[in-house]
Amino acid sequence: MSIADKACVTGIGETAYVRGSPKSALELQMAAARRAAEDAGISPHDIDGVIPIGVVSGIAEDFIDNFGITDLRFSALIPHGGASPTMALQSATALVAAGICNHVLIAFGRNVSAAASKAGARIHQMPQFHYVTEFEYPLGNCAPAQIYAPMAMRHMQLYGTTVEHFGEVAVACREHALLNDNAIMKKPITLEDHRNSRLIAEPFRLLDCSLESDGGAAVIVSAAERAKDLRHRRVFISGVAVGHPDSPAAITQRPDMTSLGLGKAAPRAFRMAGVTPADIQVAEIYDCFTYAVIRQLEDMGFCAKGEGGPFVADGRLRLGGALPTNTHGGLLSQAHIWGLNHIVELVRQLRGHGGRAQVPGAELGLVTGYGDLGDGAIAIMRRE
Amino acid sequence: MSELVPKPVPVPSAVALPYWEGLQRGEFCVQRCAACGTLRHYPRLLCRECFSDAVDWQAISGEGHIHSYTVAHYAYHPGFAAELPYTLVTIELTVGLRALGRWLGAEVPQIGAPVRMVLVPGEPYPTLSFAPA
Ligand SMILES: [Zn+2]
């Protein structure tokens, strides 16, 4: 049985994205979840599956308690960082396709921008980073920027990827953030601004790095038959897949340091959806770092391995380019909501509700997730 | 002014304790599967070739070449602030494993360049480091 087109994203919800929210992660998660149910046109009582994202905010019991859910039939946690939201789409699709659930809530909230819990300290609480914590942290390999940098450095050396290529990704995301009222970054940047931003962990500069931000986002995944009666035009999940890199807990030990889990997932998702990269009209690609976007484009087959740099040049990722990408501003310039904001934006685009950042006539698009040290996920969606 | 914050100290896991004890003796020790001889690093419970949990530990030379690197210009832990900028090198060891270490070379690392291991004295463990061969 294929699960292609058996599920639809029927509801989307977001809070304001800010630095320094007075609200707790759980409050933000609940607020977004309530908005997603309202957007779908269902009562929170009707939610019968829940996949809370991360382990930093709520668990299933919180949703049962606060929403008065009387018949929750499924819950799970997916511990793969920024890949978790798109991985959760796969679980939710399978759940509704199998008839286990009708409406699955995927919700996330975070409040991390307070100084005491920056990424350099936070990841060492997480079990998937245990090799890094034991063997690399004491050497000074503390935070994702440093841990991922050798992948990008090797890509530059092997394939000739340049600072300007990274800058193209940063500039595209920023241009799109300027069209989005719910984006944290408000100032235009140029390739020169990118090049002149201070070095963080070579080759990464400040403008290669995503934001630390607070907020909540949520989506409702419903059985395609149920979705017919709900508020919005249906957006189908046509292809969805997950993949893990070799040596998933240590990039140092990965046989090909420039490989990612997405390279295994993407062919499965495209096959399931029956489309090719050339068919994709809008892409929301997990952008923890500019390099990650370039590498994922290669893994998805938009170009050959090593050609991701030239591929993004000349504004291809900007609105009006051949592959408008991160039309909300991404983690680089909208907010870092673990990529659940990318799923929300893809649905918005496919509904035709993209506002000033709308890709004209967008009917088919994709979203990716990238977690921890390279776990990957992809969902290809199409509108009815 | 600059307040001295200690760097994070390794907290050895049970499975990796012989690695850390080896460093204190001046050796880079890796796991060798007692059943099939396959070397592995970072230390883990099972051999992924034969699934045996029987292990001998073997000291290796620490020779290899540079696979990649980064230069840190920002301290994500205050204990490293005084050392900025510092360079981390990923080494392809000649025995077919990888290691991450501090770079002691005066020049920017060149991918593919041969290196030798240097254990820089430290408490409670030496710092795994590499220098041009
Ligand atoms: Zn073995």
Q: Among all chains, which residue has been given the structure tokens 């984006």?
A: A183
Please give the average per-residue pLDDT across A11-15, as a whole number.
Answer: 98
Judge whether residue B59 has pLDDT over 70.
yes
Domain ranges of chain A: 7-115+211-383
At residue A382 the predicted structure's pLDDT band, cuts being 50, 70 and 90, is very high
Say how far apart CA A354 and CA A160 lie, in whole Å: 35
B67 close to B43: Cβ distance less than 8 angstroms: no
Instruction: Kindly tell me the sign of the dihedral angle through the C-alpha atoms of A124, A128, A131, A136.
Output: negative
SS3 A180: coil
Say how far apart CA A190 and CA B1 lie, in whole Å: 36
Q: How far is CA A78 from CA A31, A53, A210, A220, A292, in A?
A: 21, 7, 22, 16, 21
Judge whether residue A116 has pLDDT over 90.
no
Mark yes or no for CB contact A146/B76 under 8 Å. Answer: yes
| Residue A115 pLDDT | 55
Judge whether residue B2 has pLDDT over 60.
no
Whole-number mean pLDDT of chain A? 96
Tell me phi and psi for residue A236, to 5 degrees: -85, 145
| Residue A123 pLDDT | 85
SS3 A74: strand
Judge whether residue A56 has pLDDT over 80.
no
| CB-based contacts of B30, cutoff 8 Å, min separation 6 | B19, B39, B40, B41, B43, B57, B58, B60, B95, B97
pLDDT in tens, A227-245: 999 999 999 999 999 999 9
Mark yes or no for CB contact B42/A138 under 8 Å. Answer: no
Q: Which of B8, B83, B86 lies at the smallest CB-CB distance from A138?
A: B8
Please give the average per-residue pLDDT across A322-337, as a whole number.
Answer: 98
| CATH code for residues B62-133 | 2.40.50.840
Judge whether residue A383 has pLDDT over 60.
yes
Dihedral of CA atoms A171, A174, A175, A176 in degrees, nearest 10, equals 130
- CATH architecture of structural domain A7-115+211-383: 3-Layer(aba) Sandwich (3.40)
Helix (H) or strand (E) holding B87, with range, is strand B86-93
| Residue B3 pLDDT | 58
Judge whether residue A120 has pLDDT over 80.
no
Question: Rounded to a whole number, what is the distance in Å from the CA of A277 to chain B's nearest CA?
Answer: 31
Mark yes or no for CB contact B76/A145 under 8 Å. Answer: yes
Domain ranges of chain B: 10-60, 62-133
A136 neighbourhood in chain B, CB within 8 Å: 100
Candidates A263, A156, A141; CA nearest to B68 is A156
Candidates A6, A22, A89; CA nearest to A53 is A89
Which residue from A minimizes the CA distance to B14?
A134
At residue B1 the predicted structure's pLDDT band, cuts being 50, 70 and 90, is very low
Say how far apart CA B24 and CA B7 lie, in whole Å: 18
Which residue from B minimizes the CA distance to A256?
B67
Say how far apart CA A281 and CA A324 lie, in whole Å: 7
Question: Rounded to a whole number, what is the distance in Å from the CA of B73 to chain A's nearest CA?
Answer: 5
B13 neighbourhood in chain A, CB within 8 Å: 130, 134
Query: Within an 8 Å CB–CB cutoff, is residue B38 touching chain A?
Result: no
Please give the average per-residue pLDDT across B77-81, as a whole number.
Answer: 94
pLDDT in tens, A26-37: 999 999 999 999
Please give the average per-residue pLDDT across A78-100, as a whole number.
Answer: 97
* A interface with B, Cβ–Cβ below 8 Å: 118-121, 124, 130-131, 133-143, 145-146, 149-151, 153-154, 157, 198-203, 250, 252-253, 257
| CB-based contacts of B101, cutoff 8 Å, min separation 6 | A139, B88, B89, B91, B117, B127, B128, B129, B130
In angstroms, what is the span from residue B47 Cα to ligand 1's centroid? 5
Which residue from A minimizes the CA distance to B97?
A253
Judge whether residue A113 has pLDDT over 90.
no
A317 close to A329: Cβ distance less than 8 angstroms: no
End-to-end CA distance of chain A: 21
pLDDT in tens, A263-301: 999 999 999 999 999 999 999 999 999 999 999 999 999
Helix, strand, coil share of chain A (percent; to 5): 45, 20, 40
Q: Is the ipTM of this complex over 0.90?
A: yes
Write out residues 93-132 of B within 8 Å (CB-CB) of A.
Answer: 97-102, 111, 125, 127-128
B72 close to B86: Cβ distance less than 8 angstroms: yes
| Residue A260 pLDDT | 97
| Residue A197 pLDDT | 98
Whole-number mean pLDDT of chain B? 96
Mark yes or no for CB contact B90/A146 under 8 Å. Answer: no
